[in-house]
Amino acid sequence: MTDSPSPGSPRLLGVDTGGTFTDFVYFDGAGFRVHKVLSTPEAPERAILEGIRELGLDLRGLRVIHGSTVATNAVLEGRGVRTAYVTNRGLADVLTIGRQARRDLYDLQPPPVSPPVPAELCLETGGRLAADGSVVEPLTGDDLAALRAELARLAPEAVAINLLFAFVDDRFERAVEAAVPEGLFVSRSSQVLPEYREYERSMATWLNAYVGPLMQGYLARLEAGITPARLKVMQSHGGTISADQAGEQAVQLLLSGPAGGLMGARHVARESARERLLTFDMGGTSTDVAMIDGEIGLISESEIAGYPVAVPMVDMHTIGAGGGSIAWIDAGGLLQVGPQSAGAAPGPACYGQGGGEPTVTDANLILGHLPGSTRLGGGLPVDVAAARAAMRPLAERLGLSVEAAAEGILKIANEHMAQALRVISVQRGIDPRGFTLMPFGGAGGLHVCALADALGMGRALVPMHGGVLSALGMLVAPPGRQLSRTRQGLLDALAEAELERLFAAMEAEGRDSLAEEGVPDPVARRSLDLRYAGQATTLAVPWRGLARAADDFHAAHREAYGHALDMPVELVNLRVGLAGAAPPVHLPRLAAGAPTGPVERLPVHGVRQEVPVYSRAALAAGQRLQGPALIAEPVATTWIEPGWLVEVDGSGNLLLVRA
């Protein structure tokens, strides 16, 4: 071990596992070290342990905060564990029927879709409640004995329990849980998502059970490998949780890595006095786009692999466009890019690991946007000849030169990402020109100018350590919990004392959970999900007392939809967010100094003169550059197109302005 910890200084390691690379940011209390290794999707902990060894870190006293894709990939690939679903009599088909909504409205012959849970694993029992909590059908000893025998016969690895109106009274679910044979992972709806909407609640409960044992096993192996370091995991809403609790709440981890990116983006932007951001995180496999308007937005209506996920998570939109996205020609002879990806193995052709299909990264390399001297992740050399060899067959089929084909690939990839950015801005009635565009991820800096131009944006901020910003975000995320509970009723008919009591109970639950990992005095934020009586969707408003709730909702509805209605307002859910203190992590300040010159000049396709290449580590605070230029660093490269000006701020971030 080679690092020497400073006495009393927090030593933190942020780890983000991506589809192509696993990123590391190490903070020793004074400065940062960054690192990348190729991911090992079949056993993600191997890449993490390899990176820790290469960094030479002393594990004693080290705190590791991890963004994991294990739960997400298990859902996307349909390889969760064998899970039994237990519900009330007559409701075994809820997961199969869903909302009866066709994915393609005008497709009259959609292909059959396998149900999430096979019919033989959907079990029915007693213990049915009415909406007011009264008993419609009791849960008998015979019911529990029969259920236990059936579970023993089916031999599942996990059990998901979802009984009607368990969010009102969870006694029957607890009784079923106690009857489950020992050794099985148990997930019950009153713990996972105590909210109304039967289908969404059952789906969240099943997903939690479906991937929970995988998550527990993975975290146990990782903890064993990094002992005596302590491990925390990023949750989908941007707060961290201890590893021993995370395995029981796997459904809360489905956007673990992307949430870290947004936490890092907000942290860096605030140190540069920027509050309004459009972000795009472009990695090897996908691109995540989001909007930050002071705070990171949370939603409770999302979808992964076609399944609704109703737990709180960061508000973002994901598309299958990344550096490893493969270019191909469709049946009509048109060039397409993605969503298929070369991934980490074999990766793009230029990785020199056997990849033979052209990708976005290969296109950037061919055009000179990525210098031929680049060593990806600080260690992996790129092979220009291999990239050109992979591009040539596609270019010949299109009747184009290799360079023209590469240009076409980038134009299509950029349009995919620009359209995704429009989804979270223009399509919500928000003008992107009032925001700053922030790219991150290993490939983000290569596309920032083109995307800003496509959206008419005149400002961009390329963050320091942007190639590993999600890992940096792990370091600055506070420990946190998000809790919710359904309490339906018209505001005029509710008592404030009752709501205060429910809020207090939720806060106590969250504080107890945080206390288990030594988090004192978390800050609590209360909110209400409200709607006009008869509506299906809700808007969240901060809790400022029952007397102000209706006015706050009318204002929020007017802002979101342009109008308010003279109708009764209905409460649907109570929500409480708790957050402990974030770790004291700040970007080191750059010293002002004489401007540094380029380290070399290289040809770039479409630019008449050779383009200067600058080392980002050598740039001084206040230094100004003019495009075209390339700014290289070990974990990312930024392509500054002609017509853009760059200024280096005091933290090393690149402020881009359209000339």
Query: Is residue 141 within 8 Å of residue 127, measured between CB atoms?
Result: no
Same-domain check for residues 564 and 607: no
Q: Is the pLDDT of residue 2 over 50?
A: no
More confident residue, 634 or 366: 366
What would the mean pLDDT of 498-517 be, rounded to a whole number? 95
Residue where one domain finishes, among candidates 207, 241, 269: 207
What pLDDT does 9 receive? 62
Q: Is the pLDDT of residue 6 over 90?
A: no
Q: Is the pLDDT of residue 634 over 90?
A: no
Name the burial class of residue 336, with classes exposed (0-12), middle (13-18) and buried (19+) by CB atoms within 10 angstroms of its CB. middle
Please state, in angstroms and rounded to a whole number, the distance separating the CA atoms of residues 311 and 332.
41
Residue 256 lies in a domain: no
Residue 59 lies in a domain: no
In the DSSP assignment, the letter for residue 116 is S
pLDDT digits 0-9 by tens, 410-459: 999 999 999 999 999 999 889 999 999 999 988 899 999 999 999 999 99
Q: Which CA distances in Å does 450 have to 215, 368, 588, 620?
A: 39, 15, 30, 26
Q: Which own/partner pairs from 401-408 qualify as long-range (CB within 8 Å, at least 24 positions apart)?
A: 402/366, 403/366, 403/367, 403/605, 405/327, 405/335, 405/358, 405/363, 406/358, 406/362, 406/363, 406/364, 406/366, 406/367, 406/605, 407/363, 407/367, 407/605, 407/606, 408/335
Rg from Cα positions in the chain: 26
Residue 258: left if φ>0, alpha if ψ -120 to 50, beta else—which one? Answer: alpha
Residue 301 lies in a domain: no
What would the mean pLDDT of 489-494 be, rounded to a whole number? 95
The model's pTM is 0.88
Same-domain check for residues 494 and 537: yes
Residue 560 lies in a domain: yes
Please state, in angstroms and rounded to a whole number, the distance separating the CA atoms of residues 428 and 570.
24
Q: Is the pLDDT of residue 59 over 60?
A: yes
Query: Is residue 449 within 8 Å of residue 211, measured between CB atoms?
Result: no
In the DSSP assignment, the letter for residue 444 is G
Residue 201: left if φ>0, alpha if ψ -120 to 50, beta else—which one? Answer: alpha
Strand-pair category, 436-440 with 276-282: parallel
Residue where one domain finishes, among candidates 183, 207, 231: 207
What pLDDT does 3 receive? 54
Q: Quickly tell me which residue has 């064998």 as its tokens.
A: 82
Residue 570 lies in a domain: yes
> What's the chain's average pLDDT?
91
Q: Please list the residues that pair with 77 across neighbouring strands.
A: none
Q: Which amino acid is residue 438, in one-letter code? A: M
Same-domain check for residues 173 and 122: yes
Same-domain check for residues 104 and 177: yes
Please state, in angstroms and rounded to a whole number, the distance separating the CA atoms of residues 222 and 116.
29
Q: Please list the residues that pair with 307 across neighbouring strands.
A: 304
CATH number at residue 566: 3.30.1490
Same-domain check for residues 575 and 613: no
Residue 141 lies in a domain: yes
Q: Is the pLDDT of residue 40 over 50?
A: yes
Residue 467 lies in a domain: no
Binned at pLDDT 50, 70 and 90, residue 15 comes out as very high
DSSP string computed for 216-254: HHHHHHHHHHHTTSEEEEE-TTS-EEEHHHHGGGGGGGT
What would the mean pLDDT of 624-649 be, rounded to a whole number? 93
Q: Is the pLDDT of residue 281 over 50?
A: yes
Opening angle at CA 43, ends 230 and 54, nearest 5 = 60
Task: Tell me, rounded to whole angstroms, the distance of Cα 464 from its chain centroid.
Answer: 20
Please state, in angstroms and rounded to a whole number, the distance separating the CA atoms of residues 365 and 368.
5
Same-domain check for residues 557 and 621: no
What pLDDT does 102 receive? 75
Strand-pair category, 287-293 with 636-640: unpaired
Q: What six digits make up the tokens of 622? A: 């206040």
Please report how the helices 496-515 and 546-561 are oriented relative to each other, as an axis angle in degrees rounded to 10.
80
pLDDT digits 0-9 by tens, 358-399: 999 999 999 999 998 887 755 778 899 999 999 999 999 999
CA atoms within 13 A on the CB side of 94: 24
Same-domain check for residues 639 and 546: no
Instruction: To the nearest 10°, report the CA torsion of 613, 617, 623, 624.
Output: 30
What pLDDT does 75 receive? 87
Same-domain check for residues 196 and 109: yes
Same-domain check for residues 88 and 191: yes
Q: Measuring CA to CA, which residue among 408, 410, 420 is closest to residue 449?
A: 410
Q: Quickly tell me which residue has 């109970």 as its tokens.
A: 505
Among 45-49, 225-229, 315-319, whose mean pLDDT is lowest? 315-319
Residue 22 lies in a domain: no
Binned at pLDDT 50, 70 and 90, residue 8 comes out as low
Q: Which amino acid is residue 77, in one-letter code? A: E
Number of domains in the chain: 3
Q: What six digits make up the tokens of 117? A: 């849970």
Q: Measuring CA to CA, which residue among 258, 299, 254, 298 is closest to residue 280?
A: 258
Q: Is the pLDDT of residue 1 over 50?
A: no
Query: Is residue 49 within 8 Å of residue 225, measured between CB atoms?
Result: yes
Same-domain check for residues 108 and 146: yes
Q: What six digits make up the tokens of 213? A: 């044992």
Same-domain check for residues 91 and 185: yes
Name the burial class of residue 605, with classes exposed (0-12), middle (13-18) and buried (19+) by CB atoms within 10 angstroms of its CB. middle
CATH number at residue 160: 3.40.50
Same-domain check for residues 572 and 607: no
Domain residues for the domain of 624 are: 600-658
In the DSSP assignment, the letter for residue 43 is S
Residue where one domain finishes, among candidates 207, 222, 255: 207
Please state, in angstroms and rounded to a whole number, the distance separating the CA atoms of residues 276 and 291.
8
